[in-house]
Structure formats: C-alpha cells, structure tokens
Amino acid sequence: MSCVIPFETVYLLVLILLASACNSPTYSPPDNPVDAAPDGGSIEPIESGEEGGIVDSSRAGADGGLVDPGLGARDAGPDSAVFDDGGTTLVRPEPPGTPMVPTSAPAELLGRYAIQIRFYGQDSTLGTIAPMVNELIMLASIEADATSGKLQMTSQLCRDRGEVRGPFSQVFAAVVRPDLQPPRTWDLIVQDGSFRTDGPPALIGYDEPAPTGCSAGVKLKRRAEQVWLGDANAVCSCPSSETPPTQPDDCRVNDLDGDTHPGVTIALSGAAVSQDYVRFKDSSQFVGGIIATGKRHRASYAKLEELYQLDCAPRSCTRANLRACAAQYNTAWFTPLPELATGDAPWTCASLMKEVDEGKHVSPEPLDPKGGC
C-alpha cells in the first residue's frame, strides 16, 4: 500500500497531533518548554507577524507525515490561549469548582482525577486553512510509592474526539473505544511548585517486539486477531526493521479495539463519513503543571504522536497537511473525583463518562475550533 493518508484523515488527525519523528526518544521537557524541541533540536520562538506557533506537517517520508509540536511558540501561559487571528484572545473554559490557588505542596497532587485536555491546530490540506480542536478526557490517579515516595500518575483514556471547521462544512472525528487502549503510567516530577511527567511512549495498534519466530522476509501464520488478513491459513509479514508498521499485514499489528480491523479505528462524520484504521506511537507529556489547593491543578499538554494510517474505508487516500499548535496552547485541567465509600464500585471510564455527560467534572462548553492558533 502506498505511503499515504486518506483524504478524510485531514479531519481524523484533529484528534491526534503528530510528533516530530517516529523513532523519537522519550521526551524530558526542559524547565521552560519554550526553550527546546522534543527531539533535541532547536525551534526558534515565533515572532510577531509569524504563524502563531503552528508548524507545517506536510513532510514526506516513510513516517507518513509528522507534525512538530511547535514548542518554540511564545508562552501564552496556562490560563489563556492567544490566537493570531486578528487579535482575538480566547480564554480557556473553566471546569466547575473553586478558583485555582497555587501551592508548592506535592501532597496536593495525590488522588484520583478527571483530566480534560483541549488542544488546537490548523489543517490546510484543501488549500484553505481550517481550524481544528481536539478533546481528551482521562481517568487518572496519582500515588506515591510507599518506600521511595516517588510520585506516579496512571491514566486511562476515556474520550478522544475532535472537529475541523472548514469554510463551508464541519467534520467530526472520534476514536472508537479509547477505553480499550492500555493505561499509561508516568513518573511525576515536582520542582519549585511545578510538575511535569516523564515516561516511555505508548504503542497503540501494534506490539513490540515482533512475534517469536519472526525475521526479515519471513511469513508467519497470522495471529488470531488479524482476521482482516483472511481465513485461519492467512499469513502475516515479519518486519525487516524496527520501524513501526506501515502495512496492515505486518505481524506486529493488533486489533486493539476488537472491531476486526487493523490497529485503532477512528470514525468520521459530518461532511466526510469514513473509518480510518491507524497505529500510533504516543510520547505525549504534561509540562509546566501548576499545583493548586483544592487539587484543581492545571498543566500544558505536549501532544507528541507519530501516526500512520494502515487502511481506510472507503479507500480514497491522500496526504494530510496539518499544523499543530504549540504545547502552551493546549491546556489540561485536573478535577478531583469524589472519594469512594466502602463497597462502592471503583471508578471506570463508563462511570466517569456517565457523569461527564451529566455535566459533572469537566467544562460543559462545546468544542469550538475558534481561529486555530
């Protein structure tokens, strides 16, 4: 299959702003995330009159087209996002609750949270700039190791959706069953009243290493879940390198959401109706976190992903051209969840999203791409 992304994926990628390299190392942000790029390179600060911290994603190559997170943009701060769209300043929606009061006490981080993340970008695949907005909702817990005292955060993705607003139409995208993705665990680094995460990337839609018996050029009997390859006698192809999969018959590709299609399914609706089957490597991190009394913390979210479309339906494909907003534009709100009484069922994505849909724990404001970034 050619190294292309489906025409509709311009819209699906509103959900997933891509990273700067498919084999990038784990990102350890600097004290000031404006100062360095996640791949160790430098990114010049955006000056007045430039593009407001958006970075062209249309880079050809086997990585399928990647988006630099644009960490070199000016720091808009955790409380607002400044869009270079004629001077408009968009204040992020506040989740319900008391105002944030900063504190330096790491103990304030301990507990269970609903995390709402909204991040922004622009898409110019069709020749005109279309603003994008994306929303993630996570169920998370922060705990301290009983021996070392080291803080760790574990999160489960419960919602992943987004919207592209073109000049005449809107397209909506949503990851199917994000709750089936494996939880992510980060070390939580606290310094001078601020926090950030540090952890290995998550592999979504494929496994590493390749199955036992694989070597370059070898065909193996397909895995039981790889039903898209044919009957029980169908074969998969062993990879010739450690580069993440680019073909649906790669023996490492799994069916994470159990829908009989390779990788993870993203459903599009509105002006474009399709399904895209993707795999990705998620190296995202929380940076510049502010610890607050009442546990209503806030952070920027460096959305660092390398994504590849393995297949699509219908199969009309082209390369997307995305521009990702800088990390400082992407805000994560932490809302503490009520303590459970003895005998109560534990929090799950299902129970959290039921309450979210009732208007609890997160901002009820609808998604709005505004002017991009």
pLDDT tens, position by position, 306-361:
888 899 887 665 555 667 787 888 899 999 999 888 888 999 999 999 999 998 99
In a domain, 207, yes or no: no
**Domain assignment of residue 286, given as a range:** 9-202+274-356
In a domain, 158, yes or no: yes
Q: What percent of the chain has pLDDT over 90?
A: 43
In a domain, 369, yes or no: no
Q: Is the pLDDT of residue 28 over 80?
A: no
Give the pLDDT band (50/70/90) at residue 300.
Answer: very high
In a domain, 168, yes or no: yes
Give the pLDDT band (50/70/90) at residue 183.
Answer: very high
Q: Is the pLDDT of residue 229 over 70?
A: yes
Q: Which residues touch 190 (CB under 8 Å, ≥6 apart)?
A: 106, 109, 151, 291
pLDDT of residue 372: 59
For the ranges 24-38, 94-108, 159-173, 277-291, the one whose mean pLDDT is highest: 277-291
d(CA 225, CA 244): 19
In a domain, 365, yes or no: no
Sign of CA dihedral 192, 38, 24, 15: positive
In a domain, 326, yes or no: yes
Which residue has 């430098």 as its token pair? 42
In a domain, 219, yes or no: no
Closest CA relative to residue 178, chosen from 274, 282, 34, 83: 282
Q: Nearest 5°: CA angle at 192, between 285 and 53?
A: 40
> Is the pTM above the cut of 0.85?
no
d(CA 322, CA 5): 12
Closest CA relative to residue 190, chosen from 85, 315, 106: 106
In a domain, 64, yes or no: yes
Q: What is the mean pLDDT of residues 245-271?
A: 93
pLDDT of residue 190: 93
Phi, psi dihedral angles at 317 (to 5 degrees):
-125, 145
Residue 76, amino acid? A
Q: Is the pLDDT of residue 185 over 70?
A: yes
Closest CA relative to residue 100, chosen from 84, 73, 72, 77: 77
| CB of 322 closer than 8 Å to CB of 309 | no
Tokens representing residue 38 in the block: 């996640």
Mean pLDDT of the chain: 74
12 membership: H or E segment, kind and range? helix 9-12
pLDDT of residue 348: 96
Counted domains in the chain: 1
